[in-house]
Amino acid sequence: MLRRLWLALTAVAVASLLASTTTVAQRTHNQPHKRTFTFYLIPGISTDAFYTTMHKGAQAAANRLGVHLIFQGAPNAFSAPTQTPFLNGAIARRPDAILIAPTDKVAMIAPIRRAVQAHIPVITVDTYINAPLAVTNISSDNIAGGKKAAVALANAIGRKGSVAALSVQPGISTTDQRQQGFEARIRTYPRITYLGTQYDNDSPTIAASKTSALLIAHSDLAGIFALNTNSGIGVTNAAQHSGKKVKLVEFDAEPVEVQALRQGTISALIAQDPFRIGNLGVTLAYRYVTGKRAGIFKHYGTGEKIITRANVNKPGTKEFLYTK
Ligand code: T6T
């Protein structure tokens, strides 16, 4: 009798122990544990203030959302062959998302397709590719920026004389669109002769030598539009050394350009908002990887601002100045 009672009590104890461990095991299993997402940001050039500022914006969003962000890219050259190994390296690490500024509209399609085929969502920032592979693209309105540059340059030269432009190379979405907008607008001024756009492969040295040649060949050259920072650095140096009174309008607002604007060498800068591009990029990637995909647009514009000596120190301008 006693033995039967002991057995019954033991059975109850074991059953309740099993029940309680099952509950604990189930609870542990069902509990939503927060995982840390890893995103890569692959810039055009990792040392360029446009992209270091974009990195700061991306990092601020990553800190807010608890995302592990890795920023890696070619330190000096802006090209598909120098960018692709960094993208391949990111794909090999199987991150949750990749943000990339593709250096060529066509050449970067195949490398980006490899990421998408590996089920890694890709967001393009600044530049885009000619294939619908990215979740979204975030950029300035580069056509509008090119038009604004044409108006600023036309006004700086009194709406008459010859003008030329210096860009990186054909095939980059941003600079192609700036050129498109600039050409469309500058041709509307009847007393301005547009001498065309030359290419410098993102080399300030080549931009400087092409600018010097232009200044020698065209004595009436009144203005030059530089379509990005490195083109601008070369154009500014050559113009300063020539001693000629040529007016300059440049894209971007990197420290050297802002300094030249303050000194009066540059008439106007078309500044972008790379901090916002990076910040929005990480925010949208996080939305995507956490399943909140509905309502993500295919494109987001972040705006651009004309900076002159008149507004460079005004409130509302500082956020458009890039930092290293
Ligand atoms: O102008 C920016 C960027 O928007 C463009 O795509 C490439 O050149 C810059 O990075 C400036 O160096």
Write the CATH number for 125: 3.40.50.2300
Q: Are residues 135 and 282 in the same domain?
A: yes
Structural domains counted in the chain: 2
Q: Which residue's alpha carbon is nearest to atom 6 within ligand 1?
A: 174
pTM: 0.90
The sign of the torsion formed by the CA atoms of 28, 30, 32, 37 equals positive
The 10s digit of each residue's pLDDT in 7-20 is 444 444 444 444 44
Q: Which residue's alpha carbon is nearest to atom 2 within ligand 1?
A: 228
Q: Could you tell me if residue 17 is inside a domain?
A: no
Q: Could you tell me if residue 211 is inside a domain?
A: yes
Q: Are residues 111 and 180 in the same domain?
A: no
Pocket of ligand 1 (CB under 6 A): 44, 48, 50, 126-127, 172, 174, 228-230, 251-252, 272
Ligand 1 mean position to 189 CA, how many Å?
27
Give the phi and the psi of residue 199 in degrees, each rounded to 5: -120, 145
**Which of 251, 270, 305 for a ligand 1 pocket mutation test, highest count of atoms within 8 Å of Cβ?**
251
Q: Are residues 147 and 239 in the same domain?
A: yes
Q: Which tokens in the block code for residue 171? A: 């095939």
Q: Which tokens in the block code for residue 112? A: 């980006």
Q: Are residues 135 and 147 in the same domain?
A: no
Q: How confident is the model at residue 34 (pLDDT cuts 50, 70, 90)?
A: confident
Q: Are residues 242 and 174 in the same domain?
A: yes
Q: Could you tell me if residue 22 is inside a domain?
A: no
Residue given tokens 């490195």 in the structure block: 230
Q: 74 near 100, Cβ under 8 Å?
A: no
Ligand 1 mean position to 251 CA, how many Å?
8
Q: Could you tell me if residue 237 is inside a domain?
A: yes
Q: Are strands 299-301 and 247-251 parallel, antiparallel or unpaired?
A: unpaired
Looking at residue 30, what is its pLDDT?
56
Ligand 1 mean position to 209 CA, how many Å?
20
Q: Could you tell me if residue 14 is inside a domain?
A: no
The total number of residues shown for the chain amounts to 324
- State which residues form the domain around 264: 142-271
Q: Could you tell me if residue 320 is inside a domain?
A: no
**Strand 137-139's sheet: what is its strand order?**
68-71, 38-42, 97-100, 122-125, 137-139, 299-301
Q: 258 near 312, Cβ under 8 Å?
A: yes
Q: Measure the CA–CA gap between 180 and 96, rounded to whole angstroms.
A: 36
Q: Are strands 268-271 and 305-307 parallel, antiparallel or unpaired?
A: antiparallel
313: pLDDT strictly greater than 50: yes
Ligand 1 mean position to 56 CA, how many Å?
16
Q: Are residues 92 and 208 in the same domain?
A: no
Q: Could you tell me if residue 200 is inside a domain?
A: yes
Query: For a pLDDT cut of 90, what percent of the chain falls above it?
Result: 89
